[in-house]
Amino acid sequence: MVAHQPFDRWLHCGAGHVHWGAAGAAGLLLGTDARAGTRRYLLIQRSSWVHEGGTWSVPGGARVSGEDALRAAHREALEEIGPLPDYRVDQVVVEDCGGGWTFSTVLAVTSTAFTPVPNGEVSDVAWFGAGEMGALELHPGFARFLERHPLA
């Protein structure tokens, strides 16, 4: 019997990339309710000591055994920015890197204001309008996501 499935590890995919998370990874792209005005999105700045440190992205991380993208994104966001408000999921975008590894972005909306409590993997957390993200140093994976799925 295997007590711990080793999904929290680096994976070399079929396209020659190196990815964190042997079962894929997921992130939570949480936006405010557009009815409250211009929609804003919650992003984290990764701490300098983690992979792609200093860049802005969605909270998220590696999926573990038996977890779907929704659960993984929620669990990782909870770890990184503390208790989450109620939110509704609008869409899950699953992207394959070309080598069989997937990152799932969970697009969700909340109408509840809350104060994120960042953990040590996160150096900053803030809300941005879609038009403000171009001025940020984005994580390369999140930047590619935005190119393919522009936010309103």
- Is 136 among the residues that bind Zn ion (CB under 5 A)? no
CB of 56 to Zn ion, least distance (A): 21
- Is 13 among the residues that bind Zn ion (CB under 5 A)? yes
- Is 17 among the residues that bind Zn ion (CB under 5 A)? yes
Residue 9 vs 17, nearer CB to Zn ion = 17
- Is 97 among the residues that bind Zn ion (CB under 5 A)? yes
- Is 18 among the residues that bind Zn ion (CB under 5 A)? no
Within 8 A by CB and 6+ apart from 5, the residues are 64, 65
Residue 99 vs 134, nearer CB to Zn ion = 99
Q: Tell me how far apart the terminal alpha carbons of the chain are, to the nearest angstrom.
A: 48
98 Rama class: left (phi>0) / alpha (psi -120 to 50) / beta: left
Within 8 A by CB and 6+ apart from 32, the residues are 39, 40, 41, 109, 110, 111, 127
CB of 17 to Zn ion, least distance (A): 3
Selected binder of Zn ion within 41, 56, 87, 101 (CB under 5 A):
101
Selected binder of Zn ion within 83, 85, 99, 131 (CB under 5 A):
99
CA 35 to chain centre: 24
Alpha carbons 33 and 122: distance in angstroms, whole number: 24
Stretch that binds Zn ion, among 55-63, 69-77, 79-87, 99-107 (CB under 5 A): 99-107
Name the β-bridge partners of 26: 61, 104
Evaluate whether 79 touches 21 at the Cβ level (below 8 Å).
no
CB of 19 to Zn ion, least distance (A): 6
Near Zn ion in 35-94, by CB under 5 A: none
Binding interface with Zn ion (CB under 5 A):
13, 15, 17, 97, 99, 101
